[in-house]
Chains A and B, each alone.
Chain A
Amino acid sequence: MKLLAVTSCPTGIAHTYMAAEALQMAAEELGVQIKVETYGSIGVENEITEDDIKEAHAVIIAADTKIDKEKFEGLPIVEGSVQEAIKNPKKLIQEAMKLEKREQPIEKISKKDEKKVQGKKGPYQHLMTGVSYMIPFVVAGGILIAISFAFGIHAAENEGTLPWALNLIGGGSAFALMIPVLSGFIAYSIADRPGLVPGMIGGMLSSQIGAGFIGGIIAGFLAGYTIVLLKKWIKLPKTMEGLMPVLILPLLSSLIVGLLMIYVIGTPAAAMNTGISNWLDNLQEGSAIILGLVIGLMMAFDMGGPINKAAYTFGVGTIAAGQSSSVMAAVMAAGMTPPLGIGIATLLYKNKFTKEEKEAGKAALVLGLSFITEGAIPFAAADPIRVIPSLMVGSGVAGALTMLFKVKLAVPHGGIFVLPIPNAVEGALLYAVAILVGAIVTAFMLGNLKKPIESKDMH
């Protein structure tokens, strides 16, 4: 029989170790194996691994500080104070020996381990780490912007007012952090703490050069693997090792990632933006329905990246003179469809989304209604190959239908909040139909393309 134990006292100087020793002595006397992890001022020593947990019968936690029990999920736990472990270690060990090893949850543990182990290797897990840290930023920021819209879509323009403040919190801050957090935590997942700096800086640059979330994903992986390589290549004498985490790694990795982002990613992104704008100008001469379709596809392709920006700017350009425009209507419809479609999909196809995504799906509905396309980004970032085409088709349909129905829009943003504004929309009912059809198409495609969650984790 093998037992595990964790000891920890507030100062972590003496009692942590005394308790550990006492438990080891008592275990020896009682003829059981024990591994004791100590949480002292030195840090964690003799750390319990996942293999230990698999083999173990039970865990003894002898601590006067808070110990994270999550890693022992499924194992029976005996809890006591450090004093008890010092004074009567045998009692704790005998109690732990008496506990029944629960078969069912252990299965679950080992399954979770496997997932974790493969996850450590695969880019998919890195991407998911970034996405899961990004989701709350998108939800909080998006809802705050939506509330700001509720005061009227131009309300945020008056500095000092509450809607202005909400927009500054949601759009100016939470959304500004969204891509850096995505990239930062992708890199963190790959390279641990040192990855965070180049990852976040790379993500920030991606926003600034207009490369959007796709640029952000690239920045994250770039930053993570840059750190991995730098750590492998740079060998410092022992006395200078302290410089690695504070100076050398952050400086070199930020420089490398930053330059690559600006020159290798940024230049083509900017060129693409200009090229597409010109192309759209030409397209305007031809069929309106095709223009609507193209704009729709573009809006959903990279949500905030160069292609989306080109389409959006083009749309805003058509209303700049003050008249309402069918292009702007197509742009907004195509921008509302992605989060709406995803929100609907999370309700219809429950086995295709993680628990976290299902929660984010509800927020995505609100964000979609408010024309906050960013609500779809976490989903697209998590599974781009299946999600982006679904979004594009739905948005393309919405854009084309808008043109077909000859809907016109006079304002550049606001989603559902444009309805109370007199003369903002021409053909509101048909507009709603176009958006709804587009969203259902997206949801339907997601439901068919996305793999059920379990099978995806197995690969």
Chain B
Amino acid sequence: MDIEKLLTPNRITFELKGRTKEEAIEELIEILYKDRVIEDKQEFKSAVMKREKEFSTGIGYGVGIPHGKSKAVKEAAIALGISKSGIEFDSMDGEPVDLLFLIAVPDKSDDIHLKILSYISRRLMHEEVRDRLKEAKTYNQILEAFK
């Protein structure tokens, strides 16, 4: 799976600063905005927060995968933030989140991108994948973790 197409090096931060759900999500949106993936920050954020209200995308084990489908997104993309201090995310298991994946999907997306996203989602369910991601220091280590 070509994860590197969606998760490029400049869409990753190893030092996510935000402490709350909203702050952290905004930080990752900013990354995608600077990368010219998102045209309208506000519009995309409201899509993500709306999805978050249905039920938290904090799936437990310190992982959160907020995501939004919106016409403000030009192409499918993922931003990854690793937090040292943990984010209060209202997770299913109540634990703070330290791995935060923000998934942006345009209104009309092709299947290849959606397949990559479904692959990433599946991989995140595995403990060894999560552990390797949390320890990753470089972009290559992150890609390796998904293999």
Contact = CB atoms under 8 A, between A and B. Distances in A.
Interface residues of B, number: 27
A14 B125 contact: no
Given A14-B121, A15-B57, A21-B122, A42 B111 contact: yes
Interface string A56-69: 00000000100000
A25 B51 CA distance: 26
Nearest to B60: A87
Nearest to A86: B59
Interface string B95-108: 00000000101000
B92 A86 contact: yes
Contacts of A21: 121-123, 125-126
A13 B92 CA distance: 18
Q: How large is the interface on A (under 10, 10 to 19, 20 to 34, 35 or more residues)?
A: 20 to 34
Contacts of B109: 41
Contacts of B51: 10-11
Contacts of A13: 67, 69, 103, 105, 114, 117-118, 121
B51 to A, nearest CB: 6
Interface string B36-73: 00000000000000010011010110000101010000
Given A17-B122, A42-B114, A10 B54 contact: yes
A20 B122 contact: yes
B115 A18 contact: no
Contact of B118 (A22, A38, A64, A86): A38
Centre residue among B67, B92, B105, B125 by max chain A CB count within 10 A: B125
Centre residue among A13, A15, A16, A22 by max chain B CB count within 10 A: A13
Contacts of A318: none
A10 B117 CA distance: 15
A41 B126 CA distance: 22
A40 interface: yes
A20 B82 CA distance: 25
Contacts of A38: 118
A18 B125 contact: yes
A40 B115 CA distance: 10
A18 B60 CA distance: 12
A17 B54 contact: no
Contacts of B54: 10, 64
B118 A16 contact: yes
B80 interface: no
Contact of B121 (A15, A25, A83): A15
Contacts of A43: 111
Nearest to A89: B125
A14 B121 CA distance: 5
B49 to A, nearest CB: 13
B109 to A, nearest CB: 7
A371 to B, nearest CB: 53
Contacts of B124: 18
A98 B55 CA distance: 29
Contacts of A25: 125-126
Closest A-B pairs by Cβ, 10 of them: A21-B122, A17-B118, A17-B121, A21-B125, A14-B121, A42-B114, A18-B121, A17-B122, A87-B92, A14-B65
23 contacts: A10-B51, A11-B51, A13-B114, A13-B118, A14-B103, A14-B118, A15-B59, A15-B121, A16-B118, A17-B121, A18-B65, A21-B123, A21-B126, A22-B125, A38-B118, A40-B114, A40-B118, A41-B69, A42-B115, A43-B111, A83-B55, A86-B125, A87-B60
